[in-house]
Amino acid sequence: MCSDGRVPSQEISLSDVSANSVDPAVLRVVAVTVAEAAAAHVRARRPEVFGVVGSGVLHDDSVEVKSTPTDPVTIVDTETEEVIRDLLAKLRPADSILGEEGGGTDDCDGVRWVVDPIDGTVNFLYGIPAFSVSVAVQIDGMSVAGAVVDVSMRATYSAHRGGGATMTDVDGNVSELASNSVTDLSMALVATGFGYDAKRRKVQGRLIAEILPQVRDIRRIGSAALDLCMVATGRVDAHFEHGLSPWDWAAGSLIAEEAGAVIRIPGPNSTSAGGEIVYACAAGIADDFAHMLTAGGGGEPIST
């Protein structure tokens, strides 16, 4: 039993979950259940739709484009979001949903699930094993519970506000997460990502040129949700990116924050059209990291 009288989420079973509960620990169980079911669907469907890696089926009828020709969506993305929506309809029928593929309400009032069926679709398309399912629940625009599943590694990252963050591996072993204790920015390993719009990418490239000499190195994994979880595990010391959508960061930023990282995310009433910066970094470099981004021009939204 927790000191505040609540039961830790790992001790709550799905049979204990109330469709109306707003206890973050309970909502975390739902997030994990839904994310893991969706990840299983993604894992099973990739070889069925695309065959073996390198089979040359990247441009068939299973793939369409969204914002730009380099921004793909696959049949598995849309299928998986339906899996998520169907499960949430059964478990949380009164809640609203915002999804990357199916859209939904922009109203932040009340309980809203924010979901990304495949974060890292380009990696998924090419068979690069770095893509994830992200499921978060917000109350009045603030993430209170969430789960991110690394589909290939079969690892589940989860957190609820005030309850810490954990990783559960493929064998069911649960580890408490804590971000790194690094205090020297020059020793920080920094993850980032790039938008699909060419104008935004050009500005992001200039920012990287400013940052790279000031840190240990840069990593570009291709899934913002996984990057944020890597901050939580200490596999990287920071992650930043402009132009993320709520479904990219809603779960991962909470997991990083509950692991002790300092985060910056857009407010619920943001009007920057998706160009704001999102970041998470180890607490010991937070001030220097924020100053570096601001000095390099990264503190302001990058419009398209």
Confidence (pLDDT) at 303: 82
Residue 23 confidence (pLDDT) above 70: yes
Confidence (pLDDT) at 7: 41
Residue 109 confidence (pLDDT) above 70: yes
Question: For 151-162, what is the mean pLDDT?
Answer: 98
Query: Where residue 9 falls among pLDDT bands split at 50, 70, 90?
Result: low
Are the beta carbons of 142 and 124 closer than 8 angstroms?
Answer: no
Query: Where residue 265 falls among pLDDT bands split at 50, 70, 90?
Result: very high
The H-or-E segment that residue 144 falls in is: strand 142-150
Which domains, from first to last, does the chain contain?
Answer: 9-176 (3.30.540.10), 185-295 (3.40.190.80)
Q: Which residues have C-beta within 8 Å of that of residue 271, sequence separation ≥ 6? A: none
DSSP annotation string for 153-199: TTEEEEEETTS-EEEE-TT--EEE--------GGG-EEEE---SSHH
Structure token pair of residue 285: 């470099």
Structure token pair of residue 115: 């979901």
Residue 165 confidence (pLDDT) above 90: yes
pTM: 0.91
For 172-225, write each residue's pLDDT tens digit: 999 999 999 999 999 999 999 998 889 999 999 999 999 999 999 999 999 999
Do β-strands 63-65 and 72-74 pair in parallel, antiparallel, or remain unpaired? antiparallel
Radius of gyration of the chain (CA): 18
What percentage of residues in the chain have a pLDDT greater than 70? 88
Per the model's pLDDT, the better-predicted residue between 135 and 126 turns out to be 135
Average pLDDT for the chain: 90
Confidence (pLDDT) at 6: 40
